[in-house]
Structure 1
């Protein structure tokens, strides 16, 4: 039997990628609820005018992304609790004395297990956008602290934080060790509490580093947050680049 030809479309992607994109959006919007079944292969064949093999390739993409689960011959279900809403405003304040890093404590408040792995601490020449935000001259160095954040042992976010060396030198920030409560505690104790945060959020294709760190299954976009943290007299005390898997996380801001 000759496979059915895919209908012509102004969308140049292969049909199975287009089917996966439409189903992904419906999963993320809640049209298909976590734990519920996706339409059967026959229903999807009719809806998209596609062959069974094309439908299975589309479902395979969603399984690889962790959005769906199922075996051949059984119904494919939406994997429960896959879309996480993050609230950036909750994470920027210093933790209370003796408390864990606020990102971890907030994860625990939502019933999730949060942890971090510190990858690198080094004096580096930062990228141009970071250098500009920090007010550094070309070639001037800043302190980089790079880490991966995990939720329930799955990589959630790759974080690169840059600090002016004149604020970091002589503090625990200079060493490749975790800091109880995070760097906001150290900065606040030094007289530079975080008072205002400015975020710029964009969707980007992952770099090789982000792709590997976040264990992305395919060429999906990431959410990139470029954060500038200011203290007294609007002094910039931190610039951070955060990358999250775009199909698993969303950001919620309240005004």
Structure 2
């Protein structure tokens, strides 16, 4: 049992957020299984030294996040849908000629419906970390292709991919149209297959755009992946920023 916080606790969050955080961890770790009951209001009041209203406010956060379901006066249960494990290595390789985009085919392998929605294609000045990865000076432009990836009609990931203009110009990448097999397949066909990938993963508070596009219920952290893709002779052919809801998805890498 988690001890209740002392009055001079270093955790400055409101008590209902602290209660939700501890329960969220029990849900994510599997200590409370899908379909199982969360502790009762009386148990939570005693455990955290909280009022009934504070406990209900904490449970309301978990319901908003899609982790729990129930109504006032009844037991609150953990929803069957829990954090999904994603395997980046399975969908980062280019699709073979004629095959569908890896995101969609890998979703189908898991029994899910995957799709993508292209939001924008434009020549832009990338963020500083993207510029550094692409070898650009501040103010230089790259091609941005921005899309949302969906699983079972729910927004899963906001993807911003940046490409050197000398590789993109004169290709289908410059147009606001989806590409058969995705841009990795097009680059591979042009003689720039991915040879090495470097991922930097961090947890961040969502931006306004991420919050709205991913339809986040609260300001829980997102997982931000900055991916650098290198081709032959270690030439950088793509730098992508990906954002996922941290409470719904985790990443698994195998070595």
Q: TM-score range by the shorter chain?
A: over 0.9
Shift of 1:225: 0.3
**Residues 40-49 or 179-188, more deviating:** 40-49
Shift of 1:135: 0.9
Confirm or deny: 8 A CA contact 2:67 2:81 kept in the other structure.
Answer: no
Residues in 1 aligned to 2:201 and 2:246: alpha-carbon distance in whole angstroms: 11
SS in 1 for 2:62: helix
In the other structure, the counterpart of 2:55 is 55
Confirm or deny: 8 A CA contact 2:184 2:193 kept in the other structure.
Answer: yes
In the other structure, the counterpart of 1:162 is 162
Q: Does 1:206 align with 2:206?
A: yes
SS in 2 for 1:126: coil
Shift of 1:81: 2.3
Question: C-alpha offsets along residues 199-222 of structure 1, whole Å, 9 cap, x if unaligned?
Answer: 000111111111111111112111
SS in 2 for 1:133: helix
Shift of 1:179: 1.0
In the other structure, the counterpart of 2:98 is 98
In the other structure, the counterpart of 1:140 is 140
Question: C-alpha offsets along residues 151-202 of structure 1, whole Å, 9 cap, x if unaligned?
Answer: 1111111100000111111111111111111101000000000111000001
Shift of 1:7: 5.5
Q: Does 1:74 align with 2:83?
A: no
In the other structure, the counterpart of 2:34 is 34
In the other structure, the counterpart of 2:242 is 242
Displaced runs of 4 or more, over 4 A:
none
In the other structure, the counterpart of 1:107 is 107
In the other structure, the counterpart of 2:227 is 227
Q: Does 1:189 align with 2:200?
A: no
Shift of 1:89: 0.8
Residues in 2 aligned to 1:125 and 1:48: alpha-carbon distance in whole angstroms: 49
Residues in 2 aligned to 1:247 and 1:107: alpha-carbon distance in whole angstroms: 19
In the other structure, the counterpart of 2:172 is 172
Question: C-alpha offsets along residues 116-171 of structure 1, whole Å, 9 cap, x if unaligned?
Answer: 11000001111111111111123221100000111111111110000011111111
Residues in 2 aligned to 1:80 and 1:175: alpha-carbon distance in whole angstroms: 41
Residues in 2 aligned to 1:10 and 1:184: alpha-carbon distance in whole angstroms: 47
Residues in 2 aligned to 1:82 and 1:218: alpha-carbon distance in whole angstroms: 17
Question: C-alpha offsets along residues 7-55 of structure 1, whole Å, 9 cap, x if unaligned?
Answer: 5122111111100000001100111111222111122122222111111
Residues in 1 aligned to 2:100 and 2:41: alpha-carbon distance in whole angstroms: 47
Normalising by the residue count of structure 1, what TM-score does the alignment of the two structures yield?
0.95
